[in-house]
Amino acid sequence: MTFAIVVFPGSNCDHDAYHAAKHVLGQDARFVWHKEASLGDPDVVVLPGGFSHGDYLRTGAIARFSPVMSAVQAFAAAGGPVLGICNGFQILLECGLLPGAMLRNRDVKFHCELVGIRVERTDTPFTRACAEGQVLQVPIAHGEGNYYAPPDVVDQLERESRVVFRYANAHGETTDQANPNGSLRNIAGICNATRNVVGLMPHPERACEPALGSADGLLIFKSVVQALAERGALQAAGR
Amino acid sequence: MTIDRAVLERHGLKDDEYARIVELIGREPNLTELGLFSVMWSEHCSYKSSRVHLKTLPTEGPRVLQGPGENAGAVDIGGGLAAVFKIESHNHPSFIEPYQGAATGVGGIIRDIFTMGARPIALLDALRFGSIEDPRARRILRGVVAGIGGYGNSIGIPTIGGEAVFDESYQGNPLVNVFCLGIARHDALVRGRAGGIGNPVYYVGAKTGRDGIHGATMASAEFDESSAEKRPAVQVGDPFMEKLLLEACLEVMATDACVGVQDMGAAGLTCATSETGSRGGVGIEIDVALVPQRETGMTPYEIMLSESQERMLLIVKRGREADVERIFEKWDLHAVAIGHVTEGGRLKVKEKGVVVADVPNTALTDEAPVYRRPMREPAGREELHRIPRESLQALPRPSDALFTLLSAPTIASKRWIFEQYDYMVRTNTIAQAGMTAGVVRIKGTPQALAMSVDGNGRFCLLDPRRGARLALAEAARNVACAGARPIGATNCLNFGNPERPEIMWQFAEAVAGLGEACRALGIPITGGNVSLYNETDGRPILPTPVIGVVGLIEDASRVVTRVFPDAGLDIVLLGASHGELGGSEYLHTVHGLTRGLPPALDLTAEGALQTLVADLISRGVARSAHDCSEGGLAVTLAECCFESGGVGATITMAGTMSDGGVDRLAATLFGESASRVIVSVAPDETAALLAAARDAGVPAAALGRTGGPTIRVTVDDSRAIECSVLEAEGRWRAALPNWLDDRAA
């Protein structure tokens, strides 16, 4: 299975996603430069964290114009699994693959810490191996992760069960105290209507080895491997 | 324009220095040339007051690949890899404009590391602020922390540790010392020297503007009321530009197409051209009209002296220009040939073909003045060394004193600060900020590197020689407490005005002490930085040498932290307690005194202790390790309990007090005797640990056990401290947020 990790000039978690996919999970992984028009032929696309083009204007606002984004859009439209992590999530919002926007954290400070996120749905390729209601310990590192969308959009997300992760304490309670940035309804991650595009602010790629403080994030990478294996098996059976 | 007294004064040059310039170049300089000399001969660039002392420091060792004199030092870590590191100050700009001052401090030291061909992988910050009760100090702190985060987070290099210390003396003169470490292959190390007559000289990165002109000169003067007007001399940082430069430069260096690389930091283009030229024994000729400019109408003087950020100078092999340009184009950066390497060792600056400056490179660099400034031991030292018994009449209960110390900003949890830094990016951080040392693993090897920055200005005020020895010892002890063996050090020497004999004496004593400690512990100094003139309105800061030590861990899986990992472990104190309260945080925080003699330091005992601790950790015997520093044994024990999930500790010990002591109980609990480490150990291994200590000649005593919800300390058979871990930890955690959150000022 091949992970394509898109590299914008200011990406800085590209190597971390690569390391998790390639060395921890043992899958193939390669970098795709943002000026490329093609992704090659990957099984999964990851938009990694960082500061894509400096992000002085608005996070991810310029990255959506990079040539590679047309290929990402096409890959997503064909049902391919796309994971946007942190800045990658912000880029997915800017390019319209996911709804909503990011405000500055409510205390206007950058936050780097381990947080709890509750898995709301297991019917996405990136949560397939999780249990519903399971709380994962995964770090955040961002200054603009305060998720916002108009009330009708958030209601629609809830109706369509597209909230994939919420900030929660160890008991799985989505309290205000467990919300590190002020996100509406403790939203930490969402998916698109067809459920193959998932964006989240926390960094699962930083929580794939016990030596780093948590290995819970590995479940998200394992999920997509499992989901694609199941899809492959289904297709083989149907043929 | 004629060069008169007023012009010289504006350039920070003295009459005799001007005479020396005339002698060196054989004529009167023009204004542009005077500008070149003024920045290169500034204290900041020339080290003219400090050089004679710095020369006494040990800089060699079996692992040293690059000592002082280049952009950064480098030491061998095995496997063909090198650790490249340095610390640098950005004190003056951070006082004038805290956010940008600190941010560009981070940017500057990162450039020094990747200029050497190394991939930067970790940052540390040593910060000093005035009293936290002063709203100005809090404003500076907020700006500095945001600036460090804003730059480091964006460029994607983790800030994994450091220290923040508060003292009134830093009120008008905060210290921002930034340490960066990178990894390079030995054969890929790049030097900042020019070579190959006719090779093109490339300018890459951001355009040149009028920002930061005379920054180096500003950093070489005292502050007064009008300093706020110097704001235009502070540069503005662009971390995204630096990220592009970093990636592009590392890619270019991997191609073998360049001969030398130098960043444009202090003194900008002037320093980069003259230093690469003089190091390589060649000349450099450039045309400033070719330099990409952000503003119109810039004069050669301004272009040569600008300190605009995120710029590099590359000496490229002739014939490889296209390879270099292609890589910079990929990263959307301009690489412009602005001149070439020449014979004869002169720096020739032209503007559209017309020569505007022509001086020997070495006149700017090697021939800069060197001063043996007069020194005088300050008067009244005997009185300073006496702890006035009469002012210690009403002693607080030890439990109350412990809580006061845990809430003191120097000791309190720094989480408020380090959570604004991305300390995890690159997924190498295995001991984060807030632990005794920061530790990063080296992917592809079983190894890790531990690093720590330390310095105690109060100790240095009381006795600069002893204080500097203690600073090196503490930094080395901290890396040992993660399981590392120290392999190299870098120093950042922050002092007042060297033209005052008392300050110069402090400086010389501190450097002498540092050298003694380095030689005794076998730790070479591979580079660093001197920051003088740290005074505002004639009030100097505490003399503050900050020492960064790097240690090598052979097996990253053995790394421990200060935190007790479990209940039911034995608590062992390694090292001897002498009950020394001099210069302690206890005296300062509880009694408002900076008095007494700093703790004595036996360097042989210190070395034995560090070797033992690293050995116990690498064998998996010690389950945690924490050195005793500010706040003494009681605070150290409490810190071992914090962030453990409420694991308490019960210990029993005999009281001790030194000759000049004032209170036996306070001296025992809060005295800061050096060369001590608290470790935890499984009970069935305690005997082996004590035997190992005996063999190593290190005093060791099993004091008690971990577990229970309380911290209990019994001294001389009576209960001195009893408090809940969670309550103590709550105080320790809340102190900085209470001062810094939700306050208008």
pLDDT digits (tens, 9 = 90+) for B315-361: 999 999 999 999 999 999 989 999 999 999 999 999 999 999 999 99
Q: What percent of chain A has pLDDT over 70?
A: 100
Map residue B688 onto helix, strand or coil: helix
> What's the confidence (pLDDT) of residue B745?
46
Host domain of residue A216: 2-238
Q: Are A43 and A229 in contact (CB under 8 A)?
A: no
Pick from B243, B425, B556: which is nearest to A141 by CB? B425
Contacts of B710 by beta carbon, 8 Å cutoff, 6+ apart: B648, B650, B722, B723, B724, B725
Which position has the higher pLDDT, B623 or B434?
Answer: B623
Give the minimum alpha-carbon distance from B391 to chain A in angstroms, rounded to a whole number: 42
Choosing from A130, A144, A205, A208, which is the catalytic residue? A205
Q: Which of B247, B422, B443 to mutate to test the interface with A (most CBs of A within 10 A)?
A: B422
Tokens of B619: 């064998």
The total number of structural domains that make up chain A: 1
User: Is B420 in contact with A212 (Cβ distance < 8 A)?
Assistant: no
Residues of A with CB under 8 A from a CB of B: 9-10, 12-13, 15-16, 19-20, 23, 33, 35, 49-51, 53-56, 107, 109-113, 139, 141, 143, 203, 205-206, 208-209, 211-212
Q: Which residues of B touch A19 (CB under 8 A)?
A: 427, 443
Instruction: Count other C-beta atoms under 10 Å from residue A227's C-beta.
Output: 20
Residue B219, pLDDT above cutoff 70 = no
Q: Which residue of A has its CA nearest to B428?
A: A212
Choosing from B11, B53, B90, B340, which is the catalytic residue? B90
- B92 as an active site residue: the answer is no
CA separation for the pair B2, B668 (Å, rounded): 67
Pick from B241, B419, B441: which is nearest to A112 by CB? B419
Q: Enumerate the β-bridge partners of residue B165.
A: B128
Pick from B154, B424, B741: which is nearest to A139 by CB? B424
| Residue ranges in B592-672 assigned as alpha helix (H) | 603-618, 632-641, 664-670
Pick from B150, B419, B425: which is nearest to A13 by CB? B425
Q: What percent of chain B has pLDDT over 90?
A: 89
Q: Which residues of A touch B248 (CB under 8 A)?
A: none
Give the minimum alpha-carbon distance from A199 to chain B in angstroms, rounded to a whole number: 19
Q: Which residue of B has its CA nearest to A53?
A: B240
CA separation for the pair A16, A22 (Å, rounded): 10
Q: Which residue of A has its CA nearest to B239?
A: A54
> What's the confidence (pLDDT) of residue B224?
61
Q: Which residue of A has its CA nearest to B159?
A: A112
- A23 as an active site residue: the answer is no
Strands of B429-431's sheet in order across: B429-431, B438-441, B448-454, B544-553, B485-494, B525-531
> What's the confidence (pLDDT) of residue A233?
84
- pLDDT tens digits, B694-738: 999 999 999 999 999 999 999 999 999 999 999 999 999 999 999
Banded pLDDT at A218 (limits 50, 70, 90) = very high
CA separation for the pair B293, B700 (Å, rounded): 64
Instruction: Count other C-beta atoms under 10 Å from residue B636's C-beta.
Output: 21
Q: Are B462 and B174 in contact (CB under 8 A)?
A: no
Residue with tokens 């190593």: B696
- Taking residues A38-66, report their average pLDDT: 94
DSSP string, B148-165: HHHHHHHHT--EEEEEEE
- pLDDT tens digits, B54-77: 999 999 999 999 999 899 999 999
- pLDDT tens digits, B348-406: 999 999 999 999 999 999 999 999 999 999 999 999 999 988 878 788 999 999 999 99
User: Is B240 in contact with A143 (Cβ distance < 8 A)?
Assistant: no
Q: Which residue of B has its CA nearest to A112?
A: B419
Tell me the pTM: 0.96
Q: What percent of chain A has pLDDT over 90?
A: 94
Q: Which residue of A has its CA nearest to B440?
A: A212
Taking CA atoms, B646 is separated from B565, B643, B679, in Å, by 10, 7, 17
Residue B114, pLDDT above cutoff 60 = yes
Taking CA atoms, B398 is separated from B633, B669, B721, B722, in Å, by 12, 8, 6, 9
DSSP string, A42-109: -SEEEE--B-TT--SSSTTTTGGGSTHHHHHHHHHHTT--EEEETHHHHHHHHTTSS--EEEPPTTSS
- pLDDT tens digits, A188-206: 999 999 999 999 999 999 9
Residue B226, pLDDT above cutoff 60 = no
> What's the confidence (pLDDT) of residue B229?
53
Choosing from A13, A34, A86, A120, which is the catalytic residue? A86
Mean pLDDT over all residues of chain B? Answer: 94
> What's the confidence (pLDDT) of residue B662?
78
> What's the confidence (pLDDT) of residue B315?
97
Nearest 5°: phi and psi at B164?
-135, 120
- Beta strands (DSSP E) in B73-132 are 73-78, 81-89, 119-129
Residue A1, pLDDT above cutoff 50 = yes
- pLDDT tens digits, B176-215: 999 999 999 999 999 999 999 999 999 999 999 988 787 6
- pLDDT tens digits, B9-29: 888 899 999 999 999 999 999
Q: What percent of chain B has pLDDT over 70?
A: 97
User: Is A9 in contact with B244 (Cβ distance < 8 A)?
Assistant: yes
Give the minimum alpha-carbon distance from A88 to chain B in angstroms, rounded to a whole number: 14
> What's the confidence (pLDDT) of residue A133?
98
- pLDDT tens digits, A167-196: 999 999 999 999 999 999 999 999 999 999
> What's the confidence (pLDDT) of residue B486?
98
What ipTM was assigned to the predicted interfaces of this complex? 0.96
Give the minimum alpha-carbon distance from B649 to chain A in angstroms, rounded to a whole number: 24
> What's the confidence (pLDDT) of residue B222?
67
Element at B47 (helix H, strand E): none
Q: Which residues of B touch A23 (CB under 8 A)?
A: 443
- Taking residues B636-661, report their average pLDDT: 92
Q: Which residues of A touch B150 (CB under 8 A)?
A: 110
Task: Write the DSSP symbol of residue A138.
Answer: E
Tokens of A81: 């699994």
> What's the confidence (pLDDT) of residue B390?
82
CATH code of the domain containing A234: 3.40.50.880
> What's the confidence (pLDDT) of residue B744?
47
Q: Which residues of B touch A212 (CB under 8 A)?
A: 424, 427, 429-430
Interface size between A and B, measured as CB pairs under 8 A: 88
